[in-house]
Structure 1
Amino acid sequence: MSIQSAAVHLAEHLREKEYVEVYGHHDADGIAAASIMVHALIREDVQVRLRILPRISPGDISSGNATVLCDFGSGIPDLPDEVMVIDHHIPTFEGAFHVNPRLEGIDGEQELSASGAAYIVAQHLGDNRDLAGLALLGMIGDRQSIKGQNQDIVNEGMANNFITPGNGIPLFGRDLKEQLYTALNPMLHGIAGEEGTVESLISSYTIRNETDIGNLLSDVILKISPYHNADSMLSLWGDTWHLERGAVKDAHSLAGIVEGCGKSGKGILGAALCLRSPVYLDDAWETARAYRLRIIEATRQAHPLPDNPLIYEIADADAVSGVADAVSFDGLLNHPVAVMAPRGDSYSVSARSPQGAGKDLAAILSDLAGTCGGTGGGHYSRGGAKIPRDKIDCFTSGFLEVCA
């Protein structure tokens, strides 16, 4: 079965429903995917209830209602068979309604996100080409490449004037100061979170209200070069995307807002923007800004465990994913790392494997977490786990042994 066939199968099943509960993972990809499905279903006169959650389990699902899971669910083998899943994580779910690029030989790591898969389903529910910009949010949020199926979606969005490409600084922010001050992808070492430094930098290259962006970025690259890899530095200038139908027109900013709201426990606020409501836009901007500054501060405080250079411990469990991105993908490390923080009677863990490290984190986290009494999984280069507090030494020693 091709991904188009799987999408048709799911779309036909959804069209028969009067009411559907849509659940989305709490990051940019999950919220965008769920929002795409809400748009498409409402246009077909299907009543919808939307929920955004950090994780999903069979017990979270309301029995008796048609349910679609977006950006999670593939890795849960014991979901009820009637649940519908749109995801791009490594699949173990075997239900009849499962749209996942990995099932069709498509690279779910780089070439199709959950929001991209949701967009394909939406096209078989009706004419939803205007939702291509939402699929782009998932690509940006999950650091995917614009190639393969992703490229097809972006091309369709451009052909229909819903997405306009450009060049510039592809960072979250309402102005240059905010872009540098809250920079997370990459996190600019010694600049992000340093308001005085950012103001001084901009002032040094501004004459009569005109800022010399080229020389300013050259200076930024010189300042961060001891701490960042080449890809990280080169990413400070590149492709930008204007979203004709977006509540925020800049795709990188909207992806950052949606991600920040979701990770701050305000996923419905991010979804409201994806559903094109500008009512709470100011609140959403400030929520995302605060989240990014929180990640920057947590990253500053992060240091490897004394006896384990692969694992960092921080205090803020809601920051583990963002810190893992910052210390792994943007730095000079050539080995996997994990960031962990206590949450109640367990530890939240987020792990990353830089390009070329050659470690399958989805398999490692699934196997190791299972051995240590927890749960884990994800993608080849990024994943997460939940480990009981009294078993965390089992996890840390096992991660060092497998990934060193």
Structure 2
Amino acid sequence: MDFQEACEEARKIAFSFSNPLIVHHYDTDGITSGAIVTGAFIDERRPYRRRCIKKLDDVAIDELAKEKEIIFVDLGGGNKRVNELEDVLIIDHHQTDGIEKPQVNPLLYGIDGSTELCAAGTAYFIFGKRIELAITGAVGDMQLPFIGKNNELVEIGEKDGRVRVEEDISFYGRYCRPLVQFLQYSDEPYIPGLSYREERCLQLLETLEIPLKNGEKYRTYSDLTKEEKTRLISAIAEILIERGKIKEVNELITKSYVFPKNKMNESYEAGEFSTLLNACGRHNRDDIGVGVALGVEDYFEEARKLLQLHRKMLREGIAYASANIQDFGEFYFIDGRGIIDESIIGIICGMVLNANWKKPVVGIANSNNNQLKVSSRGKGGNLGLIMKKAAALCGGVGGGHRMAAGASIPSSKLNEFLLAVGSELADKK
């Protein structure tokens, strides 16, 4: 059975369920893939229930044991205990092993789930609708530049007039934010000296002779002339190169994906859409995130408020992490317990990661039930496998991708876990 045949079979299984519980992850890929599956059931007027979770650990499995029918989306392939559940369908793209339930996972068909296709893209190939969400999920899952199946998604979207490809700076807010806020709230990448510093942003724009307004209307980045864009990008690149965040200006330029049939708001461009949905999931408002993903206009204002809160937490988290990061030999360590929320520890790890570092960042934050949330980002080995092995030694659960992974472990086992991670990384040299 090839990938497309597996997708067709999965669709049949999904619609054979009488009233399934759709269980999806809480990040952008989880929200978008969950919305694609949810939307498919809405379109078919079939009954369903939906639940968003942060991790599929033993506690979650025990809670789900009473369910008769479950569709796991953007998770499920990394915990063998799903085999204990009744009727299950898994739509995932993370590293998987020993799963006996029906699963559509790109990795099982020679497609790299960390670079070529995410859960949202997989869900699209199963249900065939909402291609904007598939592309937004891939952008949110850091799968740029697109290759393989992701490129196939773009080609399909372009033919349908639902997707347009542009090359430009990879910052949030190109279409919807005034210039000062565009710079001030940039955190992917974080710009030392500019991010979260309004006066510095104003000074830079004044120095570059870039007007803030056209008449009475505040300008957005998309309003700038080609020459103004070049000056601004060069100035930002100079700062980031000096701080070791990037090596050359081209790292700031990426293909962006615009959705012409969407309204000219945060859902118009994949990067902005991704950021908005991510904030909803990270702050336990998956209902808002899925609603926005499905185009419910009433939810957008609440989503914007969640994004403001999200950025405030990121600003405080990055300041703490930058001042307190520790070198543990084989990796850098951020102890975010009591300071950084578990929902953003992974983002913080990615934000402090230096482009020149040859070893990863590992961060921890408090979670529920005396557990710790662990996130890891960077080079040095297959972090997905390392997190899985180290967590298993400590009675926890871990997994993910080669350069972005995580785990959930008992708080009492932290030292044991860190030693195991260090040992695994040393063995990979």
TM (normalized to structure 2)?
A: 0.86
Aligned residues: 394
Residue 366 of structure 1 and its aligned partner are, at CA, apart by 0.9
One-letter code aligned to 1:375: V
Query: Is the aligned partner of 1:384 residue 2:388?
Result: no
Structure 2 equivalent of residue 201 of structure 1: 204
| Structure 2 partner of 1:160 | 160
Structure 2 contact 21–67 (Cα < 8 Å) conserved: no
Range with bigger deviation, 107-116 or 7-16:
7-16
Q: Any idea what SS the aligned residue of 1:196 has?
A: helix
Shift of residue 218, structure 1, vs aligned partner: 1.0
Partner of 2:121: 116
Name which of structure 1's ranges 251-260 and 315-324 shifts more when overlaid on structure 2.
Answer: 315-324
Q: Quote the residue 1:8 is aligned against.
A: 8
Corresponding residue for residue 349 of structure 2: 324
Residue identity matched to 1:134: L
Q: Which residue of 2 aligns with 1:340?
A: 364
8 Å Cα contact 1:17-1:46 kept in structure 2: no
1:193 and 1:293 in contact (8 A); partners too: no
What is the CA–CA distance in structure 2 between the aligned matches of 1:240 and 1:216, rounded to whole Å?
18
The 3-state SS of whatever aligns with 2:87 is coil
Cα distance per residue 1:348-368 (max 9 Å; x no partner): 1100123xx3x0111111111
**For structure 2, which runs of at least 5 residues remain unmatched after alignment?**
215-223
Matched-pair contact (CA < 8 Å) for 2:69–2:88: yes
Alignment of 1:55-94 (within 5 A): 55-56=55-56, 57-61=60-64, 63-79=66-82, 80=85, 82-92=87-97, 94=99
Distance 1:331 1:230, change over 3 A: closer
CA distance in 2, matches of 1:195, 1:73: 43
Moved more, 4-13 or 148-157: 4-13
Q: Could you say what secondary structure the match of 1:19 adopts?
A: coil
Q: Measured at CA, do residues 208 and 343 of structure 1 come closer, stay the same or move farther in structure 2, by a change above 3 Å?
A: closer
Q: How far off its partner does 1:208 sit?
A: 7.3
Contact 1:186 1:326 in 2 (8 A): yes
Give 1:229 deviation, angstroms: 4.2
Give the 3 Å change call, closer, same or farther, for CA 120–231 of structure 1 in structure 2.
farther
Residue 286 of structure 1 aligns with which residue? 305
Measured in 1, the distance between the counterparts of 2:291 and 2:162 equals 19
Question: Partners of 2:71 and 2:182 in 1: how far apart?
Answer: 35
For 1:337, the aligned partner's letter is V
Counterpart of 1:305 in structure 2 is 326
Report deviation, 1:307: 5.1
State the 1:347 CA deviation: 1.8
Determine if contact 1:25/1:55 at 8 Å carries over to the other structure: yes
1: distance between equivalents of 2:193 and 2:125?
42
- Give the deviation of 1:64 after TM superposition: 4.1
Counterpart CA distance in 2 for 1:65 and 1:45 is: 20
Which stretch of the first structure deviates more once superposed, 53-62 or 140-149?
Answer: 53-62
Identity %: 23
Deviation at 1:289, TM superposition (A): 3.0
Helix, strand or coil for the counterpart of 2:344?
A: helix
**1:393 and 2:396 aligned:** no
CA distance in 2, matches of 1:331, 1:250: 26
2-structure distance, mates of 1:49, 1:310:
41
Superposed displacement of residue 141, structure 1: 0.7
Distance verdict in 2 for CA 1:282–1:64, change over 3 Å = closer
CA distance in 2, matches of 1:65, 1:161: 40
Instruction: Find 1:352's aligned residue among 374, 377, 384.
Output: 377
- Sort the Cα spacing of 1:50 and 1:203 in 2 relative to 1 into closer, same or farther, 3 A: farther
| 2:140 alignment counterpart | 141
Map 1:222-261; keep pairs closer than 5 Å.
222-230=238-246, 233-246=249-262, 248-261=267-280
| CA displacement at 1:236 relative to structure 2 | 2.8
**1:198-254 CA-partner distances (Å, limit 9, x unpaired):** 222223332473652211221111122122343685343332221134462121100
Distance verdict in 2 for CA 1:101–1:260, change over 3 Å: same
Instruction: Give the distance between the partners of 1:403 and 1:208, measured in 2 at CA.
Output: 49
Q: Deviations over 1:73-95 (max 9, x none)?
A: 10011112521110000112523
Q: Which moved more, 1:391-400 or 1:361-370?
A: 391-400
